[in-house]
Amino acid sequence: MLGSMSILEWGIWISALLYMVAFCLNAYRVLIGPSLPDRIAALDTMYMNAIGPVILMGISTGTRFDFEAAMLIAMFGFLSIAALCKYLLRGMIIE
Amino acid sequence: MEYLGFLVELVVALLLVCGGLTAVVGGIGMVRFNDFYMRMHGPAMSSTMALGCMILASILFFWFHTGTLRFPELILTLFVLISAPVSAHLLTMSALHLKLPRQSNTQGGPFELNEKIDQD
């Protein structure tokens, strides 16, 4: 099975493995982070990294319909990070 | 034509691996740095270089897969490039508001962390 894989499939699998390692490192920082902004920064990096595997899945299946999912992940990630930072700054989100 | 297809697959695979490697480097920096203000490098790495490599690979692959050149991924790049500095600014503002400790060799010295100016 490994001998019949094309170079594009090798690239997709190696990239997915590297993204898995990056997710584990960021989850470690989310767990041990000594302060709240550390955890929020690690969550920021995690949602940025979550866009990559969605694009990978689109390349491996050959369709472009996953692009909207990546867009939604980017939008909701930015909104949640902004809301959490406003909560840390002011004590409330909507003044 | 067969040779060109192999070349495009090679370039797309290299771009994908480059994006994954950049994400791993950002994660290692997230774990290994000692200070919150140093740790802000992690989101910057994964939002610019890793996502840029993935989106370039996607545009190149679908150009040769469907035969037409279209750029719907550029909307994603534009949105992330606008929103990443805003979220980094908000994160650093909240860190300065909480007066997080910093190491002595961290450069900069903003006045929010300077105790002398606070006491005057």
Residues of B in contact with A14 (CB under 8 A): 16-17, 20
Report the candidate in A45, A26, A51 with the shortest Cα–Cα distance to residue B40.
A45
State the DSSP H helix or E strand holding residue B66, giving kind and residue range, or none if neither.
Answer: helix B51-66
Q: Is the pTM of this model over 0.90?
A: no
Q: What is the DSSP letter of B96?
A: H
Interval A19-70: pLDDT, tens: 999 999 999 999 997 889 999 999 999 998 999 999 999 999 988 888 888 8
ipTM value for the complex: 0.86
pLDDT of residue A21: 95
Residues of B in contact with A38 (CB under 8 A): 36, 39
pLDDT of residue A20: 95
CB pairs under 8 A between A and B: 164
- Residue type for A22, please? A
Let me know if A3 is exposed, middle or buried by CB neighbors in 10 A (0-12, 13-18, 19+): exposed
pLDDT of residue B119: 45
For residues A1 and A57, give the distance between their C-alpha atoms in angstroms, rounded to a whole number.
20
Residue A26 in tokens: 């960021």
Higher pLDDT pick, A78 / B110: A78
The answer to whether A49 and B48 are in contact (CB under 8 A) is no
The answer to whether B56 and A52 are in contact (CB under 8 A) is no
Residues of A in contact with B55 (CB under 8 A): 55
Closest CB to B13 among A7, A21, A85: A7
- Sign of the dihedral through C-alpha B77, B78, B82, B87: negative
Residue A39, chain B, CB below 8 Å: the answer is: no
For residues A62 and A39, give the distance between their C-alpha atoms in angstroms, rounded to a whole number.
35
Contact B95 A37 (CB under 8 A): yes
Residue A48 in tokens: 């940025």
Residues 55-94, chain A, touching B (beta carbon < 8 A): 55-56, 58-59, 62, 64, 67, 70-71, 74-75, 78, 81-82, 85-86, 88-89
Delineate the domains of chain B, giving CATH numbers in brackets.
2-119 (1.10.287)
Instruction: Give residue B115's pLDDT band: very low, low, confident or very high (50, 70, 90).
Output: low
Contact A17 B43 (CB under 8 A): no
Higher pLDDT pick, B33 / B119: B33
Task: Tell me the mean pLDDT in the region B26-53.
Answer: 87
Contact A44 B12 (CB under 8 A): no
Higher pLDDT pick, B98 / B110: B98
Residue A81 in tokens: 């990070």
CA atoms within 13 A on the CB side of A23: 12
DSSP string, A1-42: --TT--HHHHHHHHHHHHHHHHHHHHHHHHHH-SSHHHHHHH
- Sign of the dihedral through C-alpha A24, A26, A28, A31: negative
